[in-house]
Amino acid sequence: MLTKQTILCIDMKSFYASCAALRLGLDPLTCHLAVVGNTERQGSVVLAASPALKKDYGIKTGSRLFEIPKDERIHVVNAQMAFFLQRSIEITGLLNRFVPQEAIHTYSVDESFIKADGTERLWGDGRALATAITTSIQEEFGLPSAIGIGPNMLLAKLCLDLEAKKTGIAQWTYEDVPRKLWPLSPLRKMWGIGPRLEQTLHRMGITKVGDLAHYPLALLEKKFGVMGNQLYHHAWGIDETQLEERPATNGQISYGKSQILLRDYTKKEEIQHVMLEMCEEVARRARTAKKAGRTISLGMGYSRHEGGGGFHRSKSIEEPTNITMELYDVCLQLMQEFYSGQTVRKLSITLSNVCDDTEMQLNLFALDEPKKRTLGYVMDEIRRKHGSTALLRAVSYTSAGTARHRSTLLGGHKA
Q: What is the CATH number of the domain that holds 108?
A: 3.30.70.270
Both 162 and 190 in one domain: the answer is no
**Residue 315 phi, psi (nearest 5):** -145, 130
Pairing mode, strands 169-171 and 145-150: parallel
What does the pLDDT read at residue 378? 61
pLDDT of residue 134: 98
**Could you give the CA distance from residue 34 to residue 264 in angstroms, rounded to a whole number?**
24
User: For residue 6, what are the domain limits?
Assistant: 1-172
Mean pLDDT of the chain: 85
Q: Work out the number of other CB atoms within 10 angstroms of the CB of residue 188.
A: 16
Q: Is 313 left (phi over 0), alpha (psi -120 to 50) or beta?
A: beta
The mean pLDDT of 94-103, rounded to a whole number, is 93
What is the CATH classification number for the domain harbouring 387?
A: 3.30.1490.100
Q: Which of 111, 198, 277, 369 is catalytic?
A: 111
Q: Are residues 75 and 182 in the same domain?
A: no
**What CATH number did the domain enclosing 233 receive?**
1.10.150.20
pTM (2 d.p.): 0.64
Q: How confident is the model at residue 409 (pLDDT cuts 50, 70, 90)?
A: very low
Rg (CA), the chain: 24
Surface-to-core class of residue 294, CB atoms within 10 Å of its CB (0-12 exposed, 13-18 middle, 19+ buried)? middle
Of 67, 87, 86, 85, the residue nearest 76 (C-alpha): 67
Whether residue 49 is predicted with pLDDT greater than 90 in this model: the reply is: yes
- Confidence at residue 240, expressed as pLDDT on a 0 to 100 scale: 85
**Alpha carbon 402 to chain centroid distance?**
21
Q: At 399, is the pLDDT very low, low, confident or very high (cuts 50, 70, 90)?
A: low
pLDDT for residue 247: 45
Checking phi first, is residue 411 left (phi over 0); if not, alpha (psi -120 to 50) or beta?
A: left
Decide if pLDDT at 370 tops 70: no
Exposure string over 99-125, b if 16+ CB within 10 A, otherwise e:
beeebbbbeebbbbbbbbeebeeebee
Whether the per-residue pLDDT at 151 is higher than 80: the answer is yes
- Pair 143, 73 in one domain: yes
Percentage above 70 pLDDT, the chain: 84
Cβ count within 10 A of residue 390? 12
Residue 385 has pLDDT above 80, yes or no: no
What is the structure's pLDDT at 415?
52
Q: Which has the higher per-residue pLDDT, 265 or 412?
A: 265
Both 394 and 291 in a single domain? yes
- 189 and 143 together in one domain: no
State which amino acid sits at residue 257.
K
Q: Are residues 182 and 166 in the same domain?
A: no
**DSSP one-letter code for 410:** E
Same domain? 158 vs 52: yes
Q: What is the mean pLDDT of residues 246-254?
A: 51
Stretch among 55-64, 157-166, 209-218, 261-270 having the lowest mean pLDDT: 261-270
State residue 116 phi and psi, 5-degree precision.
Answer: -100, 0
Same domain, 236 and 140: no
Considering the domain architecture, whether residues 31 and 101 belong to the same structural domain is answered as: yes
Q: What is the pLDDT of residue 356?
A: 83
In this predicted structure, the answer to whether residue 404 has a pLDDT above a threshold of 50 is no
Asked if the model's pLDDT at residue 334 lies above 50, the reply is yes
Window from 189-193, 231-235, 265-269 with minimum mean pLDDT: 189-193
29-40 pLDDT, tens digit per residue, is 999 999 998 898
Contact 34, 21 (CB under 8 A): no
Domain boundary among 217, 243, 269: 243
Of 172, 194, 212, the one marking the end of a domain is: 172
Can you give the pLDDT at residue 174? 97
- With a CB cutoff of 8 Å and minimum separation 6, the contacts of 171 are 126, 127, 148, 149, 150, 159
Grade residue 405 by pLDDT with cuts at 50, 70 and 90.
Answer: very low
Beta strands in 211-274 (DSSP E): 254-265
pLDDT at 262 over 80: no
Torsion angle of the four alpha carbons 326, 331, 336, 341, in this order, in degrees rounded to the nearest 10: -140
**Least confident interval from 62-71, 132-141, 155-164, 301-310:** 301-310
CA distance 276 to 325: 8
Whether the per-residue pLDDT at 259 is higher than 70: the answer is yes
Using the predicted structure, report yes or no on whether residue 167 has a pLDDT greater than 50.
yes
Neighbours of 216 (CB within 10 A): 9
Give yes or no: residues 105 and 226 share one domain.
no
- Domains identified in the chain, total number: 3
- Determine whether 111 is an active site residue: yes
pLDDT band for 221, please (50, 70, 90 cuts): very high
pLDDT band at 312 (very low <50, low <70, confident <90, very high): confident
Q: Which helix (H) or strand (E) holds 370?
A: helix 369-386
Residues 123/124/126/130 CA torsion (nearest 10 deg): -40
Q: What would the mean pLDDT of 43-47 be, rounded to a whole number?
A: 87
For residues 57-69, one letter each, b for 16 or more C-beta atoms within 10 angstroms of the residue's C-beta and e for the rest, the string is bebeeebebeebe
Task: Verify that 383 and 262 share a domain, yes or no.
Answer: yes
The residue among 243, 258, 282 that closes a domain is 243
d(CA 171, CA 163): 9
The answer on 53 and 168 residing in a single domain is yes
Q: Which residues contact 23 (CB under 8 A, 6 or more apart)?
A: 80, 83
